Amino acid sequence: MPSRERAEKILFLLGELLYESQRVLSSSHAVLVFGAHRFVVPKGWADSSLRNLEHVFVKHDYDRIPGFTRVPRGSTVVDLGAYVGFFSVKVHSESPGARLVAVEANPQACRYLRHNLRMNGVRSEAYCLAVGESDGVGRLFVAEDPVNSSLLEEYSSSFSRVSGVARVAQLSLSSLWRRLDVGHASLLKVDVEGVEERVLRASRDVLTPGCVDRVVVEVHPPYSSPSRVVELLERGFHVATYYDYEAPFQVFVYGWAKR
C-alpha cells in the first residue's frame, strides 16, 4: 500500500475509534474526525456518514485520476450533492483559493453542510436545493439512510426505506449556472442519487469546455447509464470510467476538456 494511502487509512481508523468512543455519550450528534477535519452529523447518520467519508478521503473515488480535483487559485468548483460537506472540505484543503459552490437537496443535510463548512474554515456558498431536469418544486424522497435520499422514489426505496417526502426548490443545472453566476468552473462534481443522467441530458449546454474544465459524475446503475453519461460528455471531453466490481451500483465517469 503506498505511503499516502496507508496514512489516510490510519487517519480513517483513528476517526472510527473516536466515533466508537462517543457511542456511550448521550448527545444526539456525533463528531467524525479525519486528520484536521471535523464533521458533525446526527448520531443516527454516523455509520453511513463514516462510509461516505471513507469514499471521499480514503478511497479517493472522485480523484482516482491523481490531481483531478485540485484546481487553480481563484477558480470555481461546483459540488452537486454535497451532503454534509466531505467533498467540499477536501477540495478546500487541497485548493484553498477556490470559490466553492455546494448544493444539497436534503434540507436537514444542508443544515449540517453549512455548519461543517464553517467549522472547517471553508468560505463556501451553500445552497439548499435540488438539481433536476427542470425548474420548480421537486419531491425529495427522504431515506432512513440519508445518503440514499433522491428525487426518484424507486432509487431511495431500493437502497433504504423512504421515511418521508420533502418539497424542495429545484433548478436545472443550466439555470443554476446562470442564477449563481458560475460562468466557468474548473471542476463540476455530480452525485445526485440516480438522476445524474437526466440532469446532464437536460443541461447539455453546460457540458462544454467553455463552461467547465473537468467533470466527475457518480453514476448509479440501473437508474442512470454509465455509457449514456459517457456519450453526453465525450463530444467536449476526454472520458475515463472507473468500475469497482464490488460496488456495482456505483460507477465513476471522469471528463476533462478537449483543447
pLDDT tens by residue, the chain, 259 residues: 565 555 555 455 545 545 444 444 447 889 999 999 999 999 999 999 999 999 999 999 999 999 999 999 999 999 999 999 999 999 999 999 999 999 999 999 999 999 999 999 998 899 999 999 999 999 999 999 999 999 999 999 999 999 999 999 999 999 999 999 999 999 999 999 999 999 999 999 999 999 999 999 999 999 999 999 999 999 999 999 999 888 889 999 999 999 8
Residue 163, phi then psi, degrees to nearest 5: -100, -10
> What's the first-to-final CA gap in the chain, in angstroms?
35
Domains, the chain, in order of start with CATH, read 64-257 (3.40.50.150)
172: cell is 436545472
- Phi, psi for 208 (deg, rounded to 5): -135, 150
The CA–CA distances, whole Å, from 107 to 83, 196, 206, 258 equal: 10, 19, 26, 37
Q: Residue 214: what pLDDT?
A: 98
Place of cell 473516536: 18
DSSP letters, 180-246, are TT---EEEEEE--TT-HHHHHHHTGGGSSTTTEEEEEEEE-TTTS-HHHHHHHHHTTEEEEEEE-TT
pLDDT at 151: 97
Beta carbons of 126 and 102 less than 8 angstroms apart = yes
What pLDDT sits at residue 105?
98
Q: The whole model's pTM is what?
A: 0.89
The one-letter amino acid at 249: F
What is the predicted pLDDT for the residue at 3? 57
Residue 117 corresponds to which cell in the numbers above?
463548512
